[in-house]
């Protein structure tokens, strides 16, 4: 077993010629109302239907940044544009202090915020006592094999026995790279079933997210969700679908990685992703002037945390590792974005006892963190060669939990992200007596799924599709056939059927999987998830 500790102490010049990180916020966006009125011009159909399903408004934050503004910035002296964010209507730039400040003369620039807080026009409280920090949260009927303990600790096998295995759920993994995932035998099922839907390298601005030259952290994190080796290993959501996004540069630690993360989360939202797994955390950087303090871990200060909060607002269930700073007495608290409104996961060992490396709570503003825990000490993984291995860190408790939640959510996809998060918390071992080490404790997914299923009933005026799952005929209750238009979409957002004046559909010719059923009339529109056996 290898233990990985990442962090580089760089000796740099802090003079005016040094390259600084900054966010440039714009005054406006183009064609906002027209874009909102025609959401398919800015979002995928899956994203639109997911937002409709959970009554999430499509707003100005979904509209892309003005590309003409970005082009103008790129043409400015000494300015390099590294990332962009539609949610914040800003870009991340590198340049000298003077060249960045000169951008304020552009009429479309509303505000400039330097990553080095001492360069901003407000009082700063910086703690530069730490010059290195781990960015990855790493110390480094199925036969579950080596993964049995981490699965059974959460009673996830009960979900799997009822065929809740993540089918139809879409997860984005934000990490350092995914080498060999296209060839690794541990991901053979994922690839053969075409459930790896794509990815992107935001660091290198490349589609080659699975390059063998990239760091392996994302690949082994992925294995704890969807990896499968017959009689040796089973992930917690073995039938889920995935997008893989590289946002972390393993060779350095700079604030631009926060911006890459937010940009990837925006991409995930536009693609209709249900969950994000992020086994990354930020607090200390190569340049200590950019460091966050423990007091900044208040859920609303770090750029990445504020972006993660918006992802949650948009209906995505963001699961983030708590961090591995439990034994770092100068910074034992959770890192960003785990301090936000995300679902933060700490670590226990194989016996369910607190793992001493796991970062502790609460958040700086007093909220319970971590939310829950899973096995992160001695976690089973699939390595790049396709063999079972073991490693330590909240990097692994997080995807174990993400996969479990995806399988749970499959049982009632109409639940919102916030509802699912609360159901999992309430199932946990210390829900009535949380502490700073393990939060609400170890969830019991056999309890959580009963809670999810017990709330499937709806009032008499709500449109109901039954039976769901279905093998043949699907019927609609409380829907007037005379006024109905029914559209059926695949999980990728492709329309596969449209009928009018009907209250039943024959699904017998459809392939097994999940479909989005959109029922509309003159006054309302309803979107439901339908499972085809």
Q: For Cα atoms 88, 409, 233, give the angle at the middle one, nearest 5 degrees.
A: 105
Q: Give per-residue burial for 46-61: e unless 16+ CB within 10 Å, then b.
A: bbbbbbbbbebebeeb
Give which of 364, 373, 276 is closest to 317, Cα–Cα: 276
Distance CA 91, CA 101 (A): 14
Distance CA 226, CA 234 (A): 7
Contacts of 380 (CB under 8 A, 6+ apart): 145, 146, 147, 149, 150, 224, 233, 388, 389, 390
* From 175, 339, 371, 389, active-site residue: 175
Specify the 3-state DSSP secondary structure of 290: helix
Neighbours of 525 (CB within 10 A): 11
- Indicate if 175 belongs to the active site: yes
Give which of 202, 302, 290 is closest to 18, Cα–Cα: 290
Element (H, E) at 518: strand 513-520
DSSP 292: P
Residue 327 backbone class (left: φ over 0; alpha: ψ -120 to 50; beta: rest): alpha
- Indicate if 395 belongs to the active site: yes
Question: CB–CB of 62/42 below 8 Å?
Answer: yes
Per-state percent for the chain, helix, strand, coil, to nearest 5? 25, 25, 50
Question: CB–CB of 154/428 below 8 Å?
Answer: no
Give the phi and the psi of residue 192 in degrees, each rounded to 5.
Answer: -65, -30
CA end-to-end span of the chain: 41
CB burial of residue 164 (10 Å; 0-12, 13-18, 19+)? buried
- Indicate if 371 belongs to the active site: no
Distance CA 222, CA 273 (A): 16
Give the phi and the psi of residue 445 in degrees, each rounded to 5.
Answer: -75, -15
Give which of 451, 470, 471 is closest to 409, Cα–Cα: 451
Could you please report the per-residue DSSP string of 323-357? -S-TT-TTS-BPPBTTTSSSEEEEEE-TTSPBPTT
* From 321, 391, 395, 397, active-site residue: 395
Active site amino acids: 175, 217, 395
């Amino acid at each position: 077993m290898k233990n990985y500790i990442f962090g580089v102490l760089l000796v740099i010049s802090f003079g005016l010629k040094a390259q600084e990180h900054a966010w440039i916020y714009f005054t406006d966006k183009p064609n906002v109302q027209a874009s909102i009125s025609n959401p398919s011009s800015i979002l995928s159909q899956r994203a639109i239907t997911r937002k409709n399903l959970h009554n999430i408004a499509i707003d100005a934050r979904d509209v892309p940044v003005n590309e003409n503004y970005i082009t103008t910035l790129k043409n400015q002296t000494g300015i390099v544009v590294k990332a962009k964010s539609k949610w914040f209507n800003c870009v991340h730039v590198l340049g000298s202090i003077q060249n960045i400040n000169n951008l304020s003369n552009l009429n479309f620039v509303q505000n400039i915020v330097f990553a080095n807080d001492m360069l901003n026009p407000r009082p700063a409280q910086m703690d530069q006592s730490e010059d290195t920090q781990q960015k990855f949260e790493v110390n480094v009927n199925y036969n579950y094999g080596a993964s049995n303990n981490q699965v059974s600790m959460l009673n996830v096998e009960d979900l799997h026995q009822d065929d809740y295995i993540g089918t139809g759920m879409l997860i984005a993994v934000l990490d350092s790279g995914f080498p060999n995932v296209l060839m690794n035998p541990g991901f053979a099922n994922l690839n053969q079933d075409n459930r790896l839907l794509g990815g992107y390298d935001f660091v290198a601005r490349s589609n080659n997210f699975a390059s063998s030259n990239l760091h392996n952290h994302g690949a082994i994190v992925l294995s704890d969700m969807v990896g499968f080796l017959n009689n040796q290993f089973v992930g917690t959501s073995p039938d889920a679908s995935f997008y893989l996004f590289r946002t972390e540069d393993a060779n350095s630690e700079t604030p631009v990685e926060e911006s890459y993360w937010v940009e990837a989360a925006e991409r995930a939202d536009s693609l209709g992703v249900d969950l994000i797994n992020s086994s990354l955390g930020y607090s200390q950087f190569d340049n200590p002037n950019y460091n966050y303090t423990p007091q900044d871990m208040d859920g609303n200060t770090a750029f990445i945390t504020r972006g993660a909060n918006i992802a949650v607002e948009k209906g995505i269930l963001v699961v983030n590792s708590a961090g591995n700073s439990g034994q770092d007495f100068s910074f034992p608290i959770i890192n960003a974005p785990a301090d936000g409104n995300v679902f933060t996961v700490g670590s226990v060992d194989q016996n369910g006892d607190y793992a001493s490396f796991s970062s502790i709570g609460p958040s700086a503003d007093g909220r319970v963190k971590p939310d829950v825990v899973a096995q992160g000490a001695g976690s089973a993984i699939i390595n790049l060669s396709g063999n079972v291995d073991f490693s330590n860190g909240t990097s692994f408790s997080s995807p174990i939990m993400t996969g479990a939640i995806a399988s749970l959510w499959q049982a009632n996809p109409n639940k919102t992200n916030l509802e699912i998060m609360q159901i999992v918390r309430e199932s946990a071992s210390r829900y009535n007596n949380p502490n700073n080490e393990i939060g609400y404790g170890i969830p019991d997914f056999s309890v959580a799924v009963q809670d999810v299923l017990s709330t499937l009933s709806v009032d008499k005026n709500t449109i109901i599709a039954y039976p769901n799952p279905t093998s043949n005929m699907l019927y609609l209750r409380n829907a007037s056939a005379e006024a109905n238009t029914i559209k059926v979409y695949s999980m990728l957002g492709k329309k596969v059927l449209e009928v009018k004046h009907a209250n039943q559909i024959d699904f017998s010719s459809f392939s097994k999987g999940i479909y989005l059923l959109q029922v509309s009339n003159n006054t309302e529109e309803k979107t439901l998830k339908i499972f085809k056996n």
